Amino acid sequence: MVFETINLVLSILTFLTLVIYAYFTYLIAKDVYEPFVSFTFNQPSSYSHLNFILTNKSKIEVEVFGKLIANINGEVFDFKNGFYGDGHPWILQPFTEGRGHFELRELTNQKDVKLGDLIKKNIPSSLKFTFQIKYRKVGSRNWKKSLPQKFAYDFSQELFWLNV
Tens-place pLDDT, residues 132-141: 999 999 999 9
Burial annotation 131-150 (CB, 10 A radius, 16+ → b, else e): bbbbbbbeeeeeeeeeeebe
Q: Are strands 127-137 and 90-92 parallel, antiparallel or unpaired?
A: unpaired
pLDDT score recorded for residue 46: 63
Of 53, 57, 65, 59, residue with least CA distance to 91: 65
pLDDT tens-digit map of 62-108 = 999 999 999 877 888 888 888 888 778 999 999 999 999 888 888 88
- Tell the burial category of 115 from Cβ atoms under 10 Å away from its Cβ (0-12, 13-18, 19+): buried
The answer to whether the beta carbons of residues 80 and 108 sit under 8 Å apart is yes
The answer to whether the beta carbons of residues 35 and 11 sit under 8 Å apart is no
pTM across the whole model: 0.75
What is 37-162's CATH number? 2.60.40
Lowest-confidence pick of 65-69, 117-121, 145-149: 117-121
